[in-house]
Amino acid sequence: MQKRKLGNSALEISAIGLGCMGMSYGYGPAANEKEMIELITKAVDNGVTFFDTAEVYGPYTNEDLVGKALAPFKGKVTIATKFGIQIENGKQILDSKPATIRQAVEGSLKRLQLDVIDLYYLHRVDPNVEIEEVAGTVQDLIREGKVTHWGLSEAGVQTIRRGHAVQPVAAVQSEYSMMWRQPEEELLPTLEELGIGFVPFSPLGKGFLTGRFDGNSTFDSSDFRSIVPRFSAENLDANQVLVDLVKQIAFTRNATPAQIALAWVLAQKPWIVPIPGTRKLDRLMDNLGAANTALTVDELSDINTALNDIDIAGDRYPAEYAKRVGK
């Protein structure tokens, strides 16, 4: 597995990471813990050194899982987790007050079985706390040796600039794929200017780009996609044109759709590290194969020309989630 550096930071990690959220939360009932530990171990065996989780996944159970799975590899892998979302009466509440951050970091360190968190993201920007105050609190945690690097998730470019001015940001995490290219407009140029790495989540369009779903697909009520407009039957059908494109390219390259979709993301910038998630070993190995599926300049140009002619139907978030991003 090739390595990549996240921007100007000292974080050098595998070119493809592993998003662990779906093992515990967000995509149906939690998977079997023993099987997920085996999956994470297999990822390490195949060169993955970057793993992503968050306090709110579960909540808490995903950090417990990741901590157990990666305890034997302490010092050999990089773990990213997130703070800033609390659960109150079953609802997600944004809370980035300094006292809450300090309480959160202690819980994450314990669950992850770590002495220091490698990369600590603000999960969503709290409109009630100035980003400079959040950055200052994280800066104190870095000085105290509890955190090494910090990042922002789904933040707007002005917030990124303001936070970066207080404490250099190592990475920004946001959705990015052939299906969602908005980061190309402002986010990627800003990150390149500031020397910040980019960690795209859902680089496979929440599984859509693999060709697994169509208008007949259904989702469990505990699967986040059940409330995502893009995954309504009507929009799943309308967006098959994108899947057809990816399948066509995959066929010509003797690759899988997942490998083409991930190779496209990897080809955009050398400081981008996608974190596709999965619960299945065959899909893990499929995804990791993207690291050896380099697209040529001509192929990328042809793909982007085709993508520009495709209008994606459906929003990527329901309204209540959409209003929390890009702040």
Distance CA 278, CA 39 (A): 9
User: 95 with 126: CB under 8 angstroms?
Assistant: yes
Instruction: Show Cβ contacts of residue 60 under 8 Å, excluding neighbours closer than 6 positions.
Output: 107, 111
Distance CA 208, CA 39 (A): 22
Distance CA 5, CA 7 (A): 6
Tokens of 89: 């009466």
Distance CA 124, CA 75 (A): 28
Q: Phi, psi (5° rounding) for residue 18?
A: -130, 115
Tokens of 146: 């509890």
Angle between helices 33-45 and 61-70 (to 10 degrees): 50
For residue 57, indicate whether it is catalytic. yes
Distance CA 290, CA 265 (A): 10
Pick from 43, 117, 38, 127: nearest CA to 81:
117
Distance CA 145, CA 262 (A): 34
Catalytic residue among 57, 120, 121, 176: 57
| Residues with catalytic roles | 57
